[in-house]
Amino acid sequence: MSTVKITIDGIEMEVPSTYTILDAAREHNIDIPTLCHLKDINEIGACRMCIVEVEGARGFVTSCVMPVSEGMVVRTNTPAIRDARKVTLELLLSNHDRKCLTCVRSENCELQALAKKLNITDIEFEGEMTEGELDEVSPSIVRDPKKCILCKRCVAVCKKVQDVGAIDTINRGFKAKIGTACEKSLNDVPCTMCGQCVVACPTGALREKDATKAVWRALQDEDKFVVAQTAPAVRAAIGEEFGMPIGSLVTGKMVAALKRLGFDKVFDTNTGADLTIMEEGTELIHRIQNGGKLPMITSCSPGWVRYVENSYPELTDHLSTAKSPHQMFGAVLKTYYAQKMGIDPAKIFVVSVMPCVGKKAEADREEMQVDGLRDVDAVITTREAARMMKEAGIDLSKLADEEFDNPTGEATGAAVIFGTTGGVMEAALRTVSEVLTGKELENVEFENVRGEVNGIKEATVQIGDLEVKVAVANGLKNAGKIMDMIEKGEAPYHFVEIMACPGGCVTGGGQPIHDAKTRATVDIHGLRKKALYEADKNLPRRKSHENPVIKELYDEYLGTPGSELAHKLLHTHYHARHYFED
């Protein structure tokens, strides 16, 4: 790799010639402020917070887009630079709804942090503000244009990473704003509700639809039996909301904190994940042996499901009919569990704690109910769960570990790895392999299907006489590539795992939000993923079909995987969606 020698603020350094000034400065702990910059996603130099002086250049240059060159001499912190940044930020703030006290992003807002860093204590400019209506129609996401700073990070993520393009800049000049086609609600355009724009947004302009009030109401209702279930990815991230290092595995502390919130029971959605593997694995074997629609594609990522329903409506029959783990688990809680424990199912209120904002929309789908009872009554994200804990004065980081409640608290390592890309595939292969061959696996780790962020991974797995061809993709752009292959009849796979969010659920749209600098310099996905694989390794059972709770559930209630009752409770149908017909 070729390198160049440059000097920044008097510090000489040798850096790769492909670097920008910002890259070089960050690598040498020189702090240049940014706002619109999101590494590899939104590098447009629009906000002008990262301006620097370069010897020989006229005026300021934006360091996030300016490549380094041999002998370059850069200054990042002169009085002129500081003044210019301050004026730019004050102008931005003059057109901003500065209600920090009641803003969900307060203390985790890059705009607020920058105002503090630049020592802005007063705004000289006051005047007209850009108009914009609050959009809270979507069950998953709220858009508040009054808190938008037009950084376009959301637009870039939606277009470049997810290849959806549900939002864009509309109008020009002072009237410019982020909007949707025909200025419809996000709910009425092909938004997948993946929430990747929410975690990319530096301010409170995009946030999840709050469900904490509904959950508090249920917890205070003595007539309700309120149950929490937590997805695998939450335990690898919620500690970050309490100042713990990224990727801290806090399963026991999380359970303890949820119990202190007043939930009657705290269960592990991983039990639902084991159940999903039993049903999905059986469906796959059935499709392979009976000439069913292949490749079969996982359906546990609701953002992915909405994407198929909207962008590839004629291919929805490739989706597994299995409901996602938390929906399955909700249905089981209100039937089998209610019956076993002698609880009126109508009194059970199921709260799913999820790394995902799309799960809110999924739980809202009309078909996600059994005999008139919703599978899941409320979905809160990892961030909302942390907010509730803070509201109740609970510091998760200080709590001693507690165990998930039984009888449905048991789960396997296969279920834990659902939280990262490739995990569902690996979990399914562990079970499908043993069920089809009748032989115990010597090595349960299918490392060749473990996914990488923003990639497609293909593998061939020998199961008995059968060569099973699989693919794993994360991020909707990659998903689209696989769907195009299927559309053309060129996809050679039996089974495909797709997660809407790049990296899978550990980096889902409901997870703790880190600023752009942390995103650029820390492998957030890698650290959280490592935590889940460690958890898998340390569990005594690592295959879904070995879970005694699951065995008991089939023996006592469901019969066999794929039975009529299993279909009634645990399966659904996905269908085409047409947003622009009305």
> What is the SS3 assignment for 220?
helix
The candidate with the shortest Cα–Cα distance to 416, out of 332, 325, 348, is: 325
| Catalytic residue chosen out of the listed positions 138, 140, 299, 320 | 320
Q: Is-contact 381 343, C-beta < 8 A? A: no
**Footprint (CB under 6 A) of ligand SF4, residues 159-178:** 162, 164, 166-167, 178
List the one residue from 26, 96, 259, 334 that touches ligand SF4 (CB under 6 A): 96
| Catalytic residue chosen out of the listed positions 240, 279, 362, 546 | 362
Site membership for ligand SF4, residue 499 (CB under 6 A):
no
> What is the SS3 assignment for 491?
coil
Cα-based distances in Å from 2 to 17, 21, 65, 166, 557: 6, 16, 19, 39, 65
Nearest approach in angstroms of CB 193 to ligand SF4 is 5
Nearest approach in angstroms of CB 156 to ligand SF4 is 9
Site membership for ligand SF4, residue 99 (CB under 6 A):
yes
Catalytic, 301? Answer no
- Give me the 251-270 binding string for ligand SF4, x by CB under 6 A, dash otherwise: --------------------
Nearest approach in angstroms of CB 154 to ligand SF4 is 3
For ligand SF4, the closer CB: 199 or 351 = 199
Q: Is-contact 379 358, C-beta < 8 A? A: no
Catalytic, 158? Answer no
Catalytic, 362? Answer yes
For ligand SF4, the closer CB: 202 or 413 = 202
| Catalytic residue chosen out of the listed positions 27, 367, 487, 564 | 367
Residues present in the chain in total: 582
Nearest 5°: the CA angle 374, 379, 381 is 165
The candidate with the shortest Cα–Cα distance to 261, out of 74, 386, 377, is: 386
Q: Is-contact 36 47, C-beta < 8 A? A: yes
Catalytic, 100? Answer no
Nearest approach in angstroms of CB 44 to ligand SF4 is 11
**Cβ burial 379-407 (10 Å sphere, 16+ → b, else e):** bbbbbbbbbbbeeeebebbebeebebbeb
Site membership for ligand SF4, residue 496 (CB under 6 A):
no
CA 477 to chain CA centroid, nearest Å: 15
Site membership for ligand SF4, residue 365 (CB under 6 A):
no
Category of 3 on φ-ψ map: left (φ > 0), alpha (ψ -120 to 50) or beta:
beta
| Catalytic residue chosen out of the listed positions 154, 505, 543, 546 | 505
Distance CA 112, CA 101 (A): 11
Catalytic, 300? Answer yes
Catalytic, 126? Answer no
List the one residue from 46, 61, 65, 100 that touches ligand SF4 (CB under 6 A): 100
Site membership for ligand SF4, residue 207 (CB under 6 A):
no
DSSP state of 513: P
The candidate with the shortest Cα–Cα distance to 282, out of 414, 469, 441, 435, is: 435
Distance CA 128, CA 119 (A): 24
Site membership for ligand SF4, residue 192 (CB under 6 A):
yes
Site membership for ligand SF4, residue 194 (CB under 6 A):
yes
- Give me the 114-153 binding string for ligand SF4, x by CB under 6 A, dash otherwise: ---------------------------x-----xxxxxxx
Nearest approach in angstroms of CB 238 to ligand SF4 is 21
Site membership for ligand SF4, residue 381 (CB under 6 A):
no
Distance CA 214, CA 155 (A): 31
Nearest approach in angstroms of CB 108 to ligand SF4 is 8
Q: Is-contact 233 419, C-beta < 8 A? A: yes
Q: Is-contact 25 32, C-beta < 8 A? A: yes
| Catalytic residue chosen out of the listed positions 53, 241, 280, 309 | 280
List the one residue from 30, 66, 109, 453 that touches ligand SF4 (CB under 6 A): 109
Phi, psi of 186 (to 5 degrees): -55, -25
Distance CA 328, CA 336 (A): 12
Site membership for ligand SF4, residue 98 (CB under 6 A):
yes
Nearest approach in angstroms of CB 92 to ligand SF4 is 10
For ligand SF4, the closer CB: 310 or 335 = 310
Show which residues are catalytic: 280, 283, 300, 320, 359, 362, 367, 505
The residues binding ligand SF4 (CB under 6 A) are 96, 98-100, 103, 105-106, 109, 111-112, 141, 147-154, 157-158, 162, 164, 166-167, 178, 191-197, 200-206
